[in-house]
Amino acid sequence: MAETRETGWYADPWGTEDERYFDGSAWTRQVRPPSAQSGETPGETSVETSVETSKRASKVATGAGAVPSAQPGVSPPPTVSDVPPAAGWHADPWGDATWRWWDGAQWTGYTDRTSPLSSGAAVAAELATERTWARWARIGFAVNPIFQVLALVAASFQWRWIADHWDEVTKGTNTNGPTNPSVFGYLGLPTLVFTLGVIVLLILWLYRAGATARAAGLPLRRDPGLGAVSLIIPILQFWWPYRAARDAVGPDKQAQNLVVRWWTAWIASSLGGFLVFAAAFLPVEFSFIAVAIVAAISVVAALSGRAVVNAMLATHQSLADAGTGSS
C-alpha cells in the first residue's frame, strides 16, 4: 500500500539511527542525524537532489527489465510502461547494489549485492573493458620469463658474491656491505621494477575478468577486486588469485585445468629463487642448471597464463551472446 503521509523528515523505516526524508510519494536517500536542525525546505538543494533521485527511481520502477548502467552509481535509462512491476527484486535504479526490492508501490531499503544481474548488455559492457586488459595481460605473460631469468641471474651472481665474501660481510670489513653493487644496480633493480609492472598488469586483468564473470552471473567466492589484489598480499597470494581465476573461467573443466596448470607453474617459478640461492653455494655448474630449470617453468607459466586469458574471454563471450540471444 502506497504511503499517504506528508512530506518531511521521519525516523528511518530502513532501520538506521538517522532520519530519512519522505517526498510525499516515496522514501528518498536523503538522511540526517536525528533531531538535526535544518533550515532546508523541500525546494532547497540537498532535498531537491533527493527528490529528483526518488523521481528517477519511480520512473525506473515502471520498467521491470531495466538494466543498470555499466558505470557504477549511474541510474539506468528508464523504460516507460503503463504497468509498474510486481513486488520483487529488480535492478537497483540508484546503482548502489545489483538488486533492490520493489514492494509493489515504491523502492525499499533492502538490497542484494551477492546475486549478480545477468544480462547480455551488462556482460558485453564489462567484456569490452576486459578485452583491453587481456591484451596487456598477454604481453605481461610473454615478457615475464625474460625478466624472471634476468632477475635469477642477478640473484645468482649476488649470492655467489656473498658466499665468496662471507667473512668480510659477516665481520663488517667489506665497505660495500652485503650487496654486490654492480650486479644489483645494473641488473637486479631494473628487472625488479619490470617484474612489478607485469604483476600490476595481471592484477588489472584479473579484476576485469572477475567483473565480467560477476556481471554474467557466475558464482564468485570473493569480490573481483579482492581476488585480484590478493596477488600481492602475503600468504593469500598462494591461493586466492587461483580461486579468483578459476571462478572467472566458469564450470568448464578444460578451462579449469588450464588454471590449475598455470597456477602450479606460476607458484613453482616464483619459488624458484630458493633453488638458485641453494645452488649459489655449490659449484658454478649447479647455478646454471638451477636457472635453466626455473626458466623452463617460467615459460610454462607464461604459455599457460595466455591460454587462461583466452579461455576466460571465450567463456565470457559465450555468456554475453546467450544473454543477448545471439547465435
Residues 72 and 12 in one domain: yes
90 and 175 together in one domain: no
Question: Do residues 169 and 270 both lie within one domain?
Answer: yes
Are residues 274 and 267 in contact, defined by beta-carbon separation less than 8 angstroms? no
Using CA atoms, how far apart are residues 310 and 34, in angstroms rounded to an integer?
Answer: 54
Residue 16 lies in a domain: yes
The whole-chain average pLDDT of the chain stands at: 77
The distance from CA 216 to its chain's CA centroid, rounded to whole angstroms, is 15
Same domain, 50 and 187: no
Banded pLDDT at 71 (limits 50, 70, 90) = very low
Query: Is pLDDT at 242 greater than 80 in this prediction?
Result: yes
Tell me: pLDDT of 108 over 90.
Answer: no
| In-domain check, residue 2 | no
282 and 197 in a common domain: yes
Domain boundary pick from 92, 112, 132: 112
Judge if 161 and 307 occupy the same domain.
Answer: yes
Res. 325: pLDDT tops 80: no
* Domains in the chain, number: 2
In a domain, residue 136? The reply is yes
Residues 88 and 14 grouped into a single domain: yes
Residue 190 inside a domain? The answer is: yes
- Is there a domain that residue 245 lies in? yes
Please answer whether residues 94 and 100 qualify as being in contact, where contact means their C-beta atoms are separated by less than 8 angstroms: yes
Residue 22 lies in a domain: yes
pLDDT in tens, 214-229: 888 888 888 999 999 9
Looking at the DSSP bridge assignments, the partners of residue 21 are 9
Residue 264 has pLDDT above 70, yes or no: yes
Write down which residue in 112, 128, 143 finishes a domain: 112
Across the chain, where does the E strand assignment appear?
A: 8-11, 19-22, 27-32, 88-91, 99-102, 107-112
Kindly state the cell numbers that stand for 200.
600490476
pLDDT at 236: 93
pTM of the predicted model, to two decimals? 0.60
Show the cell assigned to 173. Answer: 670489513
Residue 60: predicted pLDDT: 39
Say which residue, 202 or 14, is predicted with more confidence.
202
Q: Are residues 91 and 156 in the same domain?
A: no
Across residues 268-295, what is the average pLDDT?
Answer: 90
Residue 3 lies in a domain: no
Instruction: Tell whether 162 and 227 lie within a shared domain.
Output: yes
Please list the residues that pair with 88 across neighbouring strands.
102
| 192 and 47 part of one domain | no
User: Does residue 233 lie within any of the structural domains?
Assistant: yes
pLDDT at position 68 is 38
Q: Give the tens place of pLDDT for each residue, 13-65.
A: 877 788 888 887 778 777 788 865 544 444 443 444 444 444 444 443 433 33
Residue 114 has pLDDT above 60, yes or no: no
Domain boundary among 112, 136, 154: 112
Q: Which structural domain, as residue segments, surrounds residue 59?
A: 8-112
Q: Same domain, yes or no, for 150 and 244?
A: yes
Claim to verify: residue 80 and residue 14 sit in the same structural domain: yes
